[in-house]
Amino acid sequence: MNGKIILLVEDNPSDVDLTRRAFERGRLANELVIARDGQEALDYFFGPGGAAGAAPDRLPELVLLDLKLPRVDGHEVLRRIRSDPRTRRIPVVVMTTSQEEQDIAQSYDLGANSYVRKPVDFSQFSLAIQQLGLYWLVMNEPPPKGASA
């Protein structure tokens, strides 16, 4: 799994720390890139020197996306990822505390690959992160590099 980048878009420092610890506990040795709000995520992909604008090998293999973000919300980040041929096939897992039916429906309508409610308990959260990492980074067959629709 080494060499695969995971972009975590999360504004809560505690959830960032929990995610890091869960990856360590699960021995997922991927590079974890953190965007602390929606604008940072968009800058990572599309800003000057951003990964999509610079080098395709710096695109993440997986995006873990919170919805409730400052500056630009998660739904807008997802819409922008799906609207660009360079990023539209990157798996995006929405990880949020929201149980709102509208958030779930809108996430899938915008092209989310999965919608996961964050467990409150650390051991459950850790297990969820480990399972997501195992599925998306090991078991799932990603699209070919450079593929665009």
3-state secondary structure 50-113: CHHHHCHHHCCCEEEECCCCCCCCHHHHHHHHHHCCCCCCCCEEEEECCCCHHHHHHHHHCCCC
Which CA distances in Å does 144 have to 52, 57, 62, 83, 95? 16, 12, 14, 18, 25
Paired strand residues for 114: 93
Per-residue model confidence as pLDDT tens digits over 26-35: 777 778 899 9
Q: Are 52 and 126 in contact (CB under 8 A)?
A: no
Residue 57 pLDDT > 70, yes or no?
no
Residue matched to tokens 């929606």 = 38
Per-residue model confidence as pLDDT tens digits over 59-104: 898 999 999 999 999 999 999 999 999 899 999 999 988 889 999 9
* CATH class of the domain at 5-139: alpha beta
Q: What is the pTM of this model?
A: 0.86
Q: How confident is the model at residue 50 (pLDDT cuts 50, 70, 90)?
A: low
Looking at this protein, which amino acid is placed at residue 73? Answer: D
